[in-house]
Amino acid sequence: METPLTEHIKENRPPLRLSDYEKVGGYRGMHKALKEMAPADIISLIKSSNLMGRGGAGFPTGLKWSLVPKDVPGGSLKYLIANADEMEPGTFKDRYLLEGNPHQLISGMIIAAYAIQARKAYIFIRWAYKKAEIIIRNAISEAYEAGYLGNNILGTGYNLDLYVHSSAGRYICGEETALINSLEGKRGLPRAKPPFPATSGLFGQPTVVNNVETLCWIPHIVENGAEWFTKLSITGEGGTKIYGVSGRVNKPGLWELPVGTTLREIIEKHAGGMKDGYRLKGVIPGGASTDFLTEAHMDTRMDFASVRTAGSRLGTGTMIILDDKTCPVAFIHNMIKFFALESCGWCTPCREGLPWVQKILESFEEGTAKTEDIGILEFQTQYMGPGNTFCAHAPGAMEPLQSGLKYFCDDFLKHIEEKHCPWRRL
Amino acid sequence: MLSTKEKEEIYEETRLYPYPAAACIDALKIVQHHRGWISDEAIEEIASELDMSVEDVDSVATFYTRIYRKPVGRNVILVCDSISCMVMGYESMYKHISDKLSVHFGETTPDGRFTLLPISCLGDCDHAPSLMINDDLHNNLTINSIDEILEKYQ
Ligand SMILES: Cc1cc2nc3c(=O)[nH]c(=O)nc-3n(C[C@H](O)[C@H](O)[C@H](O)COP(=O)(O)O)c2cc1C
Ligand code: SF4
Ligand code: FES
A8 inside domain: no
A5 inside domain: no
A90 inside domain: yes
Q: Is the same domain home to A379 and A339? A: yes
Q: What is the DSSP string of A300-353?
A: -B-SHHHHHHTTS--TTSEEEEEETTS-HHHHHHHHHHHHHHH--S-SHHHHHH
A323, A356, A381: which is the final residue of a domain? Answer: A323
Contacts of B136 (CB under 8 A, 6+ apart): A130
Per residue of chain B (154 residues), give pLDDT as tens.
999 999 999 999 999 999 999 999 999 999 999 999 999 999 999 999 999 999 999 999 999 999 999 999 999 999 999 999 999 999 999 999 999 999 999 999 999 999 999 999 999 999 999 999 999 999 999 999 999 999 999 9
Ligand 2 midpoint to CA A394 (Å): 6
Which contiguous run of DSSP H or E holds residue B57? helix B54-63
- Interface contact B28-A168, CB threshold 8 A: yes
Q: Is the same domain home to A127 and A218? A: yes
CB A221 within 8 A of CB A229: yes
Q: Is the same domain home to A127 and A182? A: yes
Q: Is the same domain home to A87 and A206? A: yes
- For each of the domains in chain B, give its residue range(s) and CATH number, in order of start: 4-63 (1.10.10), 75-151 (3.40.30.10)
Nearest to B125 by CA among B75, B94, B86: B86
Q: Chain-centre distance of CA A102, in angstroms?
A: 17
* Total domains, chain A: 3
**Could you tell me the CA-to-CA distances from B154 to A36, B65, B71, B114 in Å, in that order?**
57, 24, 17, 8
- Interface contact A185-B23, CB threshold 8 A: yes
Contacts of B148 (CB under 8 A, 6+ apart): none
Q: Is the same domain home to A152 and A201? A: yes
**Can you tell me the ipTM of this complex?**
0.97
A281, A297, A323: which is the final residue of a domain? Answer: A323
Q: Is the CB of A90 within 6 Å of ligand 1?
A: no
Q: Which residues pair with A293 in a beta bridge?
A: A283
Per residue of chain A (426 residues), give pLDDT as tens.
899 999 999 988 999 999 999 999 999 999 999 999 999 999 999 999 999 999 999 999 999 999 999 876 655 699 999 999 999 999 999 999 999 999 999 999 999 999 999 999 999 999 999 999 999 999 999 999 999 999 999 999 999 999 999 999 999 999 999 999 999 999 999 999 999 999 999 999 999 999 999 999 999 999 999 999 999 999 999 999 999 999 999 999 999 999 999 999 999 999 999 999 999 999 999 999 999 999 999 999 999 999 999 999 999 999 999 999 999 999 999 999 999 999 999 999 999 999 999 999 999 999 999 999 999 999 999 999 999 999 999 999 999 999 999 999 999 999 999 999 999 854
Interface of B with A in 26-65 (CB under 8 A): 26, 28-29, 59-60, 63-65
A13 inside domain: no
CA dihedral A244, A247, A253, A259 (to 10 degrees): -20
**pTM (whole model) above 0.95:** yes
Q: Is the same domain home to A416 and A309? A: no
Q: Which residue in B18, B26, B63 is closest to A203 by CB distance?
A: B18
Chain A residues touching residue B21 (CB < 8 angstroms): 185
Using DSSP's 3-state secondary structure scheme, residue A88 falls into coil
Burial A9-47, CB ≥16 within 10 A → b, else e = beeeeebbebeebbeeebbbbbbebbeebebeebbbbbb
Which contiguous run of DSSP H or E holds residue B26? helix B24-35
- Interface contact A185-B60, CB threshold 8 A: yes
Q: How far apart are CA A174 and CA A393, in angstroms?
A: 10
Q: Is the same domain home to A197 and A301? A: no
Q: Is the same domain home to A201 and A255? A: no
Q: Is the CB of B81 within 6 Å of ligand 3?
A: no
Any chain A CB within 8 A of the CB of B141? no
CATH number for the domain spanning A371: value is: 1.20.1440.230
Q: Is the CB of A350 within 6 Å of ligand 2?
A: yes
- Interface contact B121-A89, CB threshold 8 A: yes
CATH number for the domain spanning A156: value is: 3.40.50.11540
Q: Which domain holds residue A298?
A: 240-323
